[in-house]
Amino acid sequence: MRRRLACQALVLLLLPVAAAGAAAGAMLRQGDAFPTWELPDQRGALVTSTGLAGQRYLLWFYPRAMTPGCTAEGQALRDRYAEFQAAGVAIYGVSFDAPADNARFAAAESFPFALLSDERRALAVQVGAADAVAQPTARRISYLVGADGTVLEAYESVAPAAHAGEVLSDLGPPAATPAP
């Protein structure tokens, strides 16, 4: 009896530690509800998950504007933007950069999609793009979010130049348009 109580006490002590470790920086999985969020874009306009309800979107987290890997990933998404539009998927980049830095990045690369600023890192920590708010840059991950707000795909390991093709492949072939 005494031994069982000691084991139960140890389990109760360890549960909060395990739960805290799982929550901070943990990736969401396919089928999970994506958390609600609101972030400013490079123009300062607020973009919200509730405003995107009923629409599929890709959130690609990138470490820092105007760096080689982030530029390659953004360019690949830009170059295949029409395919994403045809598939009914909006694209949003997310970093810890200030809106002004993201504005320069978007202008320099002619990105047709919004770049969002998660300067407080709140969304990044919730979805595994950062382990803590003190983390200096976001982890390079992405989420394809469904129209119902659930995770369709979670991309934990992203090759910048190949990521756009990977997501499009997961979306499948474009729907055929009916003949007139």
List residues with catalytic annotation.
70
One-letter identity of residue 77: L
From residue 153, give the alpha-carbon distance in Å to each of 27, 87, 91, 99.
11, 15, 14, 27
User: What secondary structure letter does DSSP report for 52?
Assistant: G
Compute the Cα dihedral for 18, 152, 141, 94 and give only its sign. negative
172, with CB counted inside 10 A (0-12, 13-18, 19+), is exposed
Q: Is 42 helix (H, G, I), strand (E, B) or coil?
A: coil
The conformation of residue 41, written as its DSSP 8-state character, comes to: B
What does 84-104 look like in DSSP terms, one character per residue?
HHHTTEEEEEEESS-HHHHHH
Cα(27)–Cα(158) distance, rounded to whole angstroms?
Answer: 13
